Amino acid sequence: MALAKILFICTENSARSIMAEAIARHKYADRFEVYSAGSHPGTADSRALAVLNSHGISTEGLFSKPLSAHRQQHFDYAIVLCSKTAAECAHDISAKHLLAWDFSDPKQQGTLKAFETTLHELAERLSMFVLLYDKQHQHEPLTALNLCKLLSDDTRLNTVLLIQAEQELCVCELTAALMETQPKISRHLAMLRKAGLLQDRRQGQWVYYRLAEDLPLWASESIKHFATAAANSIQPLLANLNAMGERPVREQLCCS
């Protein structure tokens, strides 16, 4: 199952859309493949990058890109962040859904506070968008056939077995244990979460995954049997996890 593709657009791709790209990648990499572009691209604003960094949001690989670079791609969502650009790009981008979110340009005020405000407003709007997205993409009841298909992939099987063993893991822990890239792990987590096998929760900058609380008893017991059968093969992965150094500190769940 491919991740939904989102393109954020503003005029210069220097502040609003590039910040939206960074936030969405940071918080929702398990749901979306994220891009940004500008109708008249400039240079990524150093203040936008500074504000992102101050909140622990990676700016690696962020730079202003032309809208024309994405004309051969099809997106599930194209989100235009300024009214001026909406009319310009309506016919230039192939997208299932074209959304208009009109955010003022923080460069007009030119203060770090303006960029900080834009970051928080974008994060809040994205949070609302994801709530609606998740409601529209709720998983169907898990079946034995679907479970077998999901766990036929080594990465997904080992992910589930590691979470079964540790109760809860975040993406960085899984990348260390499985020695896979973050995008690949995020794609597989998205499949497992959408199928209803996993659920997630956010704590600060980290998103943690655990087996779904409403997992059918037969599925839960099946995973326990798989874990017993794979006990020897999972040990090297647990060793990788324990060797990763400083692991994120999670808060104790009140009901665990």
Among 136, 164, 196, the domain-final residue is 136
Could you identify the residue written with the tokens 């999972």? 234
Does the predicted model carry a pTM greater than 0.75? no
Per DSSP, 142 falls in state P
Looking up residue 61, the CATH number of its domain turns out to be 3.40.50.2300
Q: Which structure tokens are listed for 206?
A: 């980290």
The pLDDT value given to residue 247: 76
In terms of domains, do 79 and 110 share one? yes
Are 130 and 12 in a shared domain?
Answer: yes
The residue with tokens 């099987």 is 157
Separation of alpha carbons 183 and 69, rounded Å: 21
Which pLDDT tens digit goes with each residue over 68-127? 888 889 999 999 998 776 666 666 788 889 898 989 999 999 899 999 999 999 999 999
Tell me: do 152 and 28 sit in the same domain: no
Whether 253 is covered by a domain: the verdict is no
Cβ-Cβ contacts under 8 Å for 208 (sequence gap 6 or more): 168, 169, 170, 200, 201, 202, 250
- Same domain, yes or no: 12 and 132: yes
Cα distance between residue 20 and residue 126, in whole Å:
8
Residues 63 and 152 in one domain: no
Cα dihedral 180, 36, 26, 210 sign: negative
Same domain, 56 and 173: no
Residue 58 lies in a domain: yes
Q: Are 35 and 18 in contact (CB under 8 A)?
A: no
DSSP-assigned letters across all residues of 86-111: HHHHTTTSEEEEEEE-----GGGT-S
Tens-place pLDDT, residues 1-56: 568 999 999 989 999 999 999 999 998 887 899 999 998 899 999 999 999 999 98
Residues 108 and 169 in one domain: no
Total domains in the fold of the chain: 2
Q: Do 102 and 165 share a structural domain? A: no
| Interatomic CA distance for residues 256 and 252, integer angstroms | 7
Assess whether 101 and 214 both reside in one domain.
Answer: no
Predicted pLDDT at 202: 80
User: Which of 117, 136, 155 delimits the end of a domain?
Assistant: 136
Name the residue type at position 19: M
Q: Is 38 helix (H, G, I), strand (E, B) or coil?
A: strand
Among 72, 105, 136, identify where a domain stops. Answer: 136
pLDDT number for residue 1: 53
State whether 87 and 209 are in the same domain.
no
| pLDDT (tens digit per residue) in 152-206 | 999 999 999 999 999 999 998 999 999 998 888 988 998 898 888 998 888 777 7
123 falls within a domain: yes
Domain of residue 159: give its range: 144-242
Q: Which two tokens stand for residue 111?
A: 């203060």
In a domain, residue 256? The reply is: no
Q: Quick one: 116 and 192 in the same domain?
A: no
Gap between the Cα atoms of 96 and 151, Å rounded: 31
